[in-house]
Chains A and B, each alone.
Chain A
């Protein structure tokens, strides 16, 4: 049974109380923000191996018209991670990370958690190169550990931070994927035609469920944009509010193809070229192409309510923000983690 965050924090508190004299304190949360930002400066963008327009001969703008079917974007999945260096064992940073993912469902226009489908996943653990920390002592206290596998010799301090951050992010993505798969299975068991909306790409998921009613929403698409030809770029960036691009297939290395299209949610005259420009992914199944117009229309409906005050409100659907807010409410607070770190 996985310990709850509260339990883990209690165990950590006991451990730190016993070992604080031997450990070294971590920077404050404010100081860590800069450290972690530097570690995440060069994100690995999945480069697109191929991009092929499948709907039309060339990339075009297609007006999105309202559809008669009621909005079937019923389930929304997102995850969060909260992390901080808790202490140093020698020169090795030991991270505490809390990861969670949730599926929030829209019932009678209200967002909620359906209790039947186990909609919430939470995990927390210490992330560190385990060879360099007091594994035995931590395990005796029942604290979950994740190895950042640094290799030999011990990497530099920035590299250790980078590795831990990557490992935490990967674990969060994995958690989201597991929950998505579980939820899609559950929907299938229910005989439901509802769609599950996830944050980001869906290629990994589509590999196991190629015809699932699954839709991914990418707020940033640097890789795909790089793969666009100048004409295609012209068509995509020239989309007006309520227009979508032609559907195209994209393939990334080691991943199955997915169908994708751009959709302009808001009038770009109010912002930059990318203002309100959302990229949508669905599994590359021919049968799903028939749903593109309806999906686009439903996404347009979901422009309201606005996800303000989130700065990404032009591309962040309100139900996705609701998932984030829900998870943030459950996560250990910054004050809790700060208090824990100050025990050292």
Chain B
């Protein structure tokens, strides 16, 4: 504990009939040179009562009644200097943070006012009540003295309260930096018997792609280091980080800026199949596509085909040419199944099939078969799945890089991941006591206007119940006023960085006084206003820059490297068989190119994914890769049309059939 900043009072409480003190606010004067400003914590020491307060408004006075007197006195000469200066003072309004004794609640005594020292700050913010659960959030600066400001983990991560909301203008080191520093503090300071993990989405550039690497020399200033020291947080990068990214269009290279060979060791593909995405057709398909009929058919597909993994046709359908049973575990199989269904319907004169109209079936078929093209790097035909781990690990950060993706792909990933976390939360399958999920641009996913979406319902559920079940939302946005009130309102802790005046004019900010709003509008980088259940009034704090490599510097130091197609395939397969030689894989791919009239990358990537799905013994990787590629077909020149009736069609074998193809069935 440091010694008190000063024993000398800086002012005195004043209360007049016109401007009396109340139990919640009080007025005090100071000399103009007193180090007091908006956000300063002060303490009133009366004979039998001590009152802590935070300055929320300030006024400057001299003894001039109206400006005209000064004008007359100086004969209208602005530079005129009088031999005597008028006495000048500052009158401040402070909001009461705490009183001792707590009862009865009274207006502060007319007594001297002091600057709060470290002990006062602890008392004022009731931080003395939760020392074992303290999570450093930043420092309160009183001149050269820095006092740590901590949050109660039980009110930040649950179960007493939970969730964090951060508001701030983009690019001013408020939102992401504040969250990343807080995550590091949580990882280091949360009691060891509580496990915690974090899941982040990297939505732009390389911001969060190098958080496991130390920053460049001199990145942390002396002031940053002092803050780390005061807060007892070690300035270091995150020790355990796993990155996820979908594939690029070639389906072998990962679509991330963290693609330098030196950094590939902890980057995993994010790749989903049919089962993973079928619940999210609302996100993937155009709203006009999903009418009531289409939705009903989609539900039929999910419940009757995809969830069981197979579909059994009835006798009548089999008589129409359908097999007894068809597997439906991936998009390729779903396509084949839908083909069969359409064929049956056509054979019946394009009537409804199992009460679903033919046009509806065809529309759903068109939309679903298109998904693997639209979400090419994310959704595959084969059923190869690379998803988040079954159970999250303690003190580990999971970063999903969506920065290089189109908007619709970003939306699908974020929606599906959040929903998946919610499901795991419900079934207690998170694997850690607290999983923090960080969602930026919350106003997009939980908007205050418009239709209630699946995502909004999910976020609402998380913020309403997540704290009991270990799932905590750290949301951020530029405009809090545009976030659904219940989502923001459920966040027990809020940080406010620099905010534009237009936003501050919204009704949600009316709880702040004008001076606090003006300070918010001019907040410096690294400074935020904190609201927390233990703090009676919001407090301005500063936090150090998080200690990891910035995105721009990371990209400069580790430039992204896209590998040639065959090299990327080799490197992926080598994860299953480390002895695999590049030339072996290249030879297989070259062979295919030779007999297929050019390289068909789709076929190769599909074969690669099938191998990844199978995960064969290392010695059989190359063999299985070759097996999944199209086989060379022996050709001969036909001299007579005899026998051109074509093979019998059997969709169960995965054979293609296009009812619109006039040559089909020949």
Contacts and interface: CB of A to CB of B under 8 A. Distances in A.
Nearest to A270: B72
Interface in A51-73: 71, 73
A305 B65 contact: no
30 contacts: A71-B83, A106-B83, A106-B84, A109-B83, A109-B85, A110-B85, A111-B84, A111-B87, A298-B83, A301-B82, A302-B82, A302-B83, A302-B84, A304-B73, A304-B80, A305-B64, A305-B70, A305-B84, A306-B70, A306-B72, A306-B73, A308-B65, A308-B69, A308-B73, A309-B65, A309-B69, A318-B82, A318-B86, A319-B84, A325-B63
B74 interface: yes
A235 to B, nearest CB: 26
B92 to A, nearest CB: 20
Contacts of B84: 106, 109-111, 302, 305, 318-319, 322
Nearest to A319: B84
| 8 A-B pairs closest in CB distance | A306-B73, A304-B82, A304-B73, A308-B69, A109-B85, A309-B65, A301-B83, A305-B73
Interface in B55-70: 63-65, 69-70
A237 to B, nearest CB: 23
For the side of the interface on B, what is the size category? 10 to 19
Interface string A9-35: 000000000000000000000000000
Interface string A312-341: 000000110010010000000000000000
B659 to A, nearest CB: 98
A298 B83 CA distance: 9
Given A306-B69, A308-B69, A309-B65, A110 B87 contact: yes
Interface string B82-101: 11111100000000000000
Interface of B: 63-65, 69-70, 72-74, 80, 82-87
A252 interface: no
A76 to B, nearest CB: 9
User: Which of B73, B84, B85 has most A Cβ within 10 Å?
Assistant: B84
Given A308-B65, A309-B65, A325-B63, A303 B73 contact: yes
A59 to B, nearest CB: 28
B89 to A, nearest CB: 12
Contacts of B73: 303-306, 308
Contacts of A325: 63
Contacts of A109: 82-85
A309 B86 CA distance: 13
A298 B82 CA distance: 11
Contacts of B80: 304
Contacts of A319: 84
Nearest to B70: A305
B87 to A, nearest CB: 7
A257 to B, nearest CB: 30
A304 B74 CA distance: 7
Interface in A73-122: 73, 106, 109-111
A290 B82 CA distance: 25
Nearest to B72: A306
A302 B65 CA distance: 19
B483 to A, nearest CB: 51
Given A304-B83, A305-B64, 8 more contacts: A110-B84, A302-B83, A304-B74, A304-B80, A304-B82, A305-B82, A308-B69, A325-B63
Contacts of B83: 71, 73, 106, 109, 298, 301-302, 304
Contacts of A305: 64, 69-70, 73, 82, 84, 86
Nearest to B74: A304
Contacts of B63: 325
A308 B74 CA distance: 13
Contacts of A304: 73-74, 80, 82-83
A298 B65 CA distance: 25
Nearest to A308: B69
A315 to B, nearest CB: 14
Contacts of A73: 83
B88 to A, nearest CB: 9
Contacts of B85: 109-110
A265 to B, nearest CB: 12
Contacts of A308: 64-65, 69, 73
Contacts of B69: 305-306, 308-309
A306 B65 CA distance: 11
Nearest to A111: B84
A298 B72 CA distance: 19
A302 B70 CA distance: 14
A302 B85 CA distance: 11
Nearest to B62: A305
B578 to A, nearest CB: 81
A106 B85 CA distance: 9
A111 B82 CA distance: 12
Contacts of B74: 304
Contacts of A106: 83-84
User: Which of A71, A111, A306 has most B Cβ within 10 Å?
Assistant: A306
A130 B127 CA distance: 64
